[in-house]
Amino acid sequence: MEITHIEHIGIAVKSIEEQLPYYEETLGLKCYNIETVEDQKVKTAFFMVGQTKIELLEPTSEESTIAKYIERRGEGVHHIAYATKNLSKALKHMEEKGVRLIDNEPRKGAEGLNIAFLHPKSTGSVLTELCEHPE
């Protein structure tokens, strides 16, 4: 498997609107996209930092895993996402290495990426996402 870079870092927030001034005015980053991912019940906001994005995740429903995460652990870093070349192959590799998968097959994430999550029990408690840019 080949990881090329950190695609993004996901940060759980209660309100994107409330956090925007910090990212835009204080850090001087530009929010280039705000998008709702219906099946994950989250609203996402993206900032580019070199090759890597910061992805803010705001729950759109109390059923959202992000809502549950904030309830348990508060706002903060939620996951790290690595960009990889062949996601299906990477998932097979992970499985062979005994890593527990949350997604056995790639699925569609924000920005049209193919994504899959690995279970934090197998990744040193870091919720880890693998992403692949569709060809």
Residue from 81, 83, 118, 130 binding Zn ion (CB under 5 A): 81
Residue 7 interacts with Zn ion (CB under 5 A)? no
The H helix count followed by the E strand count for the chain is: 3, 8
In this structure, are residues 106 and 115 in contact, taking their beta carbons and an 8 Å threshold?
yes
Phi, psi of 98 (to 5 degrees): 85, 15
Residue 129 interacts with Zn ion (CB under 5 A)? yes
Residue from 10, 40, 45, 64 binding Zn ion (CB under 5 A): 10
Residue nearest to Zn ion (CB): 10
* Helix, strand, or coil (residue 97): coil
Segments in the chain forming alpha helices (H) = 16-21, 65-73, 87-96
Q: Which span sits near Zn ion by CB under 5 A: 9-17, 42-50, 61-69, 95-103?
A: 9-17
Q: Which span sits near Zn ion by CB under 5 A: 6-14, 41-49, 68-76, 94-102?
A: 6-14
Q: How far is the CB of 42 from Zn ion (least distance, A)?
A: 9
Which residues contact Zn ion (rule: CB under 5 A)?
Answer: 10, 81, 129
